[in-house]
Amino acid sequence: MAAPNANPANLKDRMQASPAGGSRGKRDPRIAIIGGGLSGITVALELKKKLGLTSFTIYEKQSQPGGTWRDNTYPGCACDVPSHWYSLSTEQNPNWSMVYSPQPEIQAYWVAVHKKHNLQAFTQYDSSFESARWNSSKSVYEIKFARQSDKSQTFMIEAEILISAIGGFSKPLDEPPSLKGLKDFQGERFHSARWRHDVSLANKRVGIIGNGCSAAQFLPEVAKDPSTHILNFSRTPSWFFPRHDQREYSAFTKFAFAHIPLVMKAYRAFLAVSMDTTWINWRKDLPSIRHYAEEVSAAHIRKTAPAKYHDFLVPRYPFGCKRIIRDPGYLTALGQDNVELITDGIDTITEKGIRGKSGEEYSLDVIILGTGFDLTADGLGIDVTGSHGKSVTDQWNEQGGPQAYLGTVLSGFPNFFLILGPNVATGHASVIYSTEAQVKYIVEMVKDMRKYGAKSLELKTDAEDRYNAQLQHRLKNTVWSGSCKSYYKLERKDGSEKVIATWPGTLFELSWRLRKPQYEHFQQRGGSSIALAKRVKKIVRLLALIAAVVYVRKVGIDEVRNNAIIFAAQRYAQLRRLISR
């Protein structure tokens, strides 16, 4: 096994020396996992536990795992999904301190999982993914990496299977095209995802651009220093929902989670069901339910925020069209003397601050960007070229924006998997749940490839097109296809829009659809036909069921029951004799 910072050549040696896998005695497939965040840890853990594989390596550009929870260290950073559902079902934690845990605690959880399962031995740090190209003659991806510490140092590896676990929040929009003149600013500026802890904000005029989830969390924290004067530039209001359920777990509750059977699992199930059923709020054909949520949110905004901001703060677009924010104290902070909400649109960034569209100049010492992340193919870091010589970026441009089959596989890209790909996110549930569902799907395909000796599985174009046509049709009946601007959708060059981020139903439905790969949707190269083998198994099971029904009808239910009792009694007697020895 490779050491955490081993030479890249060791990966090849370790993979080629890995034990034979599958019934055909062939070498296990080499698997490259890009990213050591939540998704990368989850898929590596399942490959190791479920399949016993050692032929995988996590390539992480930083010096420790954790992904977004490692990188986002801004003041007040926390999760807006209850921690008992924002964690792995196989690694439940009875010691979460509160319902919505803070960033350091979440990061510590994922580092602990990584360490517990010895994934350090399968992780290569300081390895920044550059590009990958499918080699059809060898049925491998030729993958290029650069050292994060020195991009001039590059190395190449080959892998039969490539898994992108980069996620959607890896590349901050730290230079949004709409912010003209950003580089002209002479003061300090940084994105919230790259927080500058070395920059003191005391006695400074600080411009915060944005009022989304991140800005709503760090603004109240920054505002605690009365010497810091904050100007919050907000282009579009957000729907804020009260967070009445935030609380610390008592020592007795943690004890019950840890030591009373099924309590923690039942609590997790309660959170999952109660949150997943709120998906109906996002449907256009159920306006009365959504309007009720809007009234609750609007009442909270009017009750909590200063009256002078009410006209702006209560959105005029449908509830859920943009990300809902569980208010972490943002609205209350707007009432502080050292906080101003600026609704004047930004015309340009100047050397000394911001010029609004009204012509007013806002003098600033520091600019903090709460402007979100790049969700294009470039932003997702997917410079991968498939079997037809076409890159993911080129294919998505032709398709009018990112799309995938079940958010996990792309046509034209054999043995390439995405975790948290297009149209997997929701506005109401845990991304960890959807990640686990995708990982189970990927692991099932890897298992069958080993078992049946397949060299590659490539999604058929018509399967992807049919799936996405149905998906986009369903999304038209959701608020995400509404009039507001959000990262949930992409504006095309012709002015039309495509919802690229969200799933139109419950996560339980998505998990159900990901439970088993439909191999008839894939073109297989090498080995015996997986699709045929699965069909034969279905036929055999059906024939066995028919034979059982015929047998019951022939001999009668009483005879079957008596035979079952006799059989059980015989097995019980055998067991007792074994125990008595």
Determine the pLDDT at residue 556: 80
Instruction: Report the candidate in 446, 458, 409, 459 with the shortest Cα–Cα distance to residue 29.
Output: 446
Strand ranges across the sheet with 123-124: 123-124, 56-59, 31-34, 161-164, 416-418
Determine the pLDDT at residue 478: 93
CA dihedral 12, 17, 21, 27 (to 10 degrees): 60
Q: Which amino acid is at 151?
A: K
Determine the pLDDT at residue 23: 41
Instruction: Please report, in tens digits, the pLDDT of each residue of the chain (581 residues total).
Output: 333 454 444 554 555 444 434 444 467 999 999 999 999 999 999 999 999 999 999 999 999 999 999 999 999 999 999 999 999 999 999 999 999 999 999 999 999 999 999 999 999 999 999 999 999 999 999 999 999 999 999 999 999 999 999 877 777 888 888 899 999 999 999 999 999 999 999 999 999 999 999 999 999 999 999 999 999 999 899 999 998 888 999 999 999 999 999 999 999 999 999 999 999 989 998 888 889 999 999 999 999 999 999 999 999 999 988 889 999 999 999 999 999 999 999 999 999 999 999 999 999 999 999 988 776 656 566 899 999 999 999 999 899 989 999 999 999 999 999 999 999 998 888 999 999 999 999 999 999 999 999 999 999 999 999 999 999 999 999 999 877 888 888 888 777 889 999 999 999 999 999 999 999 999 999 999 999 998 998 899 888 888 878 877 777 887 767 778 887 877 777 777 777 76
Determine the pLDDT at residue 26: 62
Determine the pLDDT at residue 378: 62
Check whether domain 8-171+375-455 has CATH 3.50.50.60, yes or no: yes
To the question of pTM greater than 0.85 for the whole model, the response is yes
**Residues 422/504, Cβ–Cβ less than 8 Å:** no
Burial class for 445, CB neighbours closer than 10 Å (0-12, 13-18, 19+): buried
Burial class for 137, CB neighbours closer than 10 Å (0-12, 13-18, 19+): exposed
Determine the pLDDT at residue 564: 80
Work out the angle at residue 164's Cα, subtended by the Cα atoms of residues 160 and 169, and round it to the nearest 5 degrees. 170
Token reading at 218: 């760090």
**Number of Cα atoms under 13 Å in the Cβ half of residue 155:** 17
Q: How does DSSP classify residue 276?
A: H
Pairing type for strands 229-233 and 205-209 reads parallel
